[in-house]
Chain A
Amino acid sequence: MNVTEILFWILSALAIGSALMVLLSKNPVHSVLWLIMVFFAISGHYILLNAQFLFIVNLIVYAGAIMVLFLFVIMLMNLNTDTEPQKNKWLRLAGVVAGGCLMLVFVAAFREAEIQRQQANAAVRLVQMGEGNIGLIENLGKALFHEYVLPFEISSVLFLSAMVGAVVIGKKGD
């Protein structure tokens, strides 16, 4: 075991543990803070993959911007455990079924990947550090602006329309 693998296990445990705490904690503000921890742990994984740009963008966009908005909304609503609406029994059942289906899909996908890897006879490794360089900013920029330039631009139009929609909803009262 080298440092990378130790870090990998620590980060994975942190990510899964925090993700569980997001669901288990009663206070919604605590949930948001645990979710931020999840993003930190996942960003750590990006560093192990040598994807520094993805690491920092994940932090800036998710931990730095989106989660701040979440926190804003929840703090202003000031939810408490007693004011939290009790969910319908059937809704819970539906949630369990949907979650189970998702897990089934994940297990199937990972199993497929495992079989493929064994067929390709690739070296079994948990992580690769300092090797892959697809996440470096130069390669990522080239991929985005050469191969995927059309989807990239179209998704930016999608964001623009979402922004316009938000402004329209915000202006409705006037």
Chain B
Amino acid sequence: MLLTIDWLLIIEKLVLIVVVVLVALGIAMYSTWAERKVAAVMQDRKGPTRAGPFGLLQPVADGIKLFFKEEIIPNTSNKFLFVLGPMLAMMTAMLTSAVIPWGNKIELFGRTIDLQIADVNIGILFIFGVVSLGVYGIMIGGWASNNKFSLMAAIRGASQMISYELAMGIAIIALMFITGTLSLKGIVEQQMNHTWNIIYQPIGFLVFFVCALAECNRTPFDLPEAENELNFGYHQEYSSMKLGFYLFAEYINMFISGVVMATLFFGGYDLPFLNEATLSPNIAALIGVLALFGKAIFFVLVFMWIRWTIPRFRYDQLMNLGWKGLLPLALVNMLVTAAVVLWLNK
């Protein structure tokens, strides 16, 4: 053959990708269940209880329902782009997981396997790039529906995401001054040896957190799907599993942004007060993975808690918060961090 390829490496990465995607899908599924339960608790209700114990089979039932719904493509829509929209939304939601270090190395069948799909030295920028591509799913879907409410919602969503990306990027820059590396693996290892970045960058984390809420289109920033103004937002014309993809992408985004926040600011797969070197590598890696998932799920729960506590912003309030509140705050944070880092290194 004319190819010289390390097939084992490719198989290893493929298995890793499948596992990561399946886990992300599973967590997104159960996030929908958790969302309803959290809402129920906050409103003194019971939430889903019929399907399975504690309503645990509810997400499965929902999925089956979505699959069996009639598939409707509007007559006047742009057919190709109409189908492309939800695909893009789902794809950009999953892409980020490629650079996240899910855990330390494990040893299986005599091979040392890195629990990270790709350790690129620009990991953070990759995440940022994929987030900036996330606009397309919403914009293309909203435009292709050929419905003015959808178009309005798509434009709202896109301008909101572009506005909040700026503050998010600057918050990340301030973090970079401290870590000195863009590789996510490097950042996690630094935090394992020293303290978590949240100690150094509390304001940066605050900005990042608010921007992550906005990027996921979660309440109080869910202007693109404001029911009382825009009927149902950019996915109004969608039915069946295409609608399901849009809704699902939101939950995957939530989970992934939880993982990113845990990785950047809360030590990634680091479990505090535990010396990993004393354990066998596989056990240590397993504990690390569980720690990362625990942190991520905590953030997802915080997202839900916020959704059922705070009402939606008005559109001008949203823009004011982004441009006049978060952006200056992030800039000042960046300048102060730069000054302090320069002063300490001198």
Q: How far is the CA of A72 from the CA of B136 in the complex (A)?
A: 11
Instruction: Indicate if A56 sits at the interface (CB-CB under 8 A).
Output: yes
Instruction: Indicate if A63 sits at the interface (CB-CB under 8 A).
Output: yes
CB-CB under 8 A for A65 and B132, given A2-B4, A75-B143: yes
Which one of B121, B132, B139, B140 lies within 8 Å of A52 (CB-CB)? B121
Instruction: Indicate if A1 sits at the interface (CB-CB under 8 A).
Output: yes
Are B133 and A52 touching (Cβ within 8 A)? no
Contacting A at CB under 8 A, from B114-163, are: 120-122, 125-126, 128-129, 132-133, 135-136, 139-140, 143, 151, 154-155, 158, 162
Instruction: Indicate if B3 sits at the interface (CB-CB under 8 A).
Output: yes
CB-CB under 8 A for A60 and B129, given A72-B155, A72-B158, A137-B121: yes
Q: How far is the CA of A137 from the CA of B155 in the complex (A)?
A: 34
Are A57 and B162 touching (Cβ within 8 A)? no
Which label, helix, strand, loop or mixed, suits the secondary structure of the A interface?
A: helix
CB-CB under 8 A for A71 and B139, given A53-B122, A56-B126, A136-B121: yes
Q: A-B contact count, CB below 8 Å?
A: 65
Which one of A2, A52, A68 lies within 8 Å of B162 (CB-CB)? A68
CB-CB under 8 A for A29 and B122, given A2-B3, A3-B5, A64-B129: no
Which one of B3, B81, B128 lies within 8 Å of A29 (CB-CB)? B81
Bitwise, B149-188 to A at CB < 8 A (1) or not (0) is 0010011001000100000000000000000001000000
Q: Using Cβ atoms and an 8 Å threshold, which residues of chain A touch B11?
A: none
CB-CB under 8 A for A137 and B182, given A57-B125, A63-B133, A75-B151: yes
Q: Using Cβ atoms and an 8 Å threshold, which residues of chain B touch A76?
A: 155
Cβ-closest chain B residue relative to A75? B143
Q: Using Cβ atoms and an 8 Å threshold, which residues of chain A touch B158?
A: 68, 72
Are A60 and B128 touching (Cβ within 8 A)? yes
Bitwise, A74-95 to B at CB < 8 A (1) or not (0) is 0110000000000000000000
Instruction: Indicate if B2 sits at the interface (CB-CB under 8 A).
Output: yes
Cβ-closest chain A residue relative to B80? A30
Are A56 and B143 touching (Cβ within 8 A)? no
Are A68 and B129 touching (Cβ within 8 A)? no
Are A60 and B3 touching (Cβ within 8 A)? no
A99 CB, min distance to chain B CBs, angstroms: 29
Bitwise, B64-86 to A at CB < 8 A (1) or not (0) is 00000000000000100100000
Q: How far is the CA of A46 from the CA of B161 in the complex (A)?
A: 27
B119 CB, min distance to chain A CBs, angstroms: 12
Cβ-closest chain B residue relative to A71? B139
18 of the cross-chain contacts (CB-CB < 8 Å) are A1-B2, A2-B2, A2-B4, A29-B78, A52-B121, A56-B128, A59-B133, A63-B133, A64-B129, A64-B132, A64-B133, A68-B135, A71-B139, A71-B143, A72-B139, A75-B155, A137-B122, A137-B182
Chain B contact residues, CB within 8 Å of chain A = 2-5, 78, 81, 120-122, 125-126, 128-129, 132-133, 135-136, 139-140, 143, 151, 154-155, 158, 162, 182
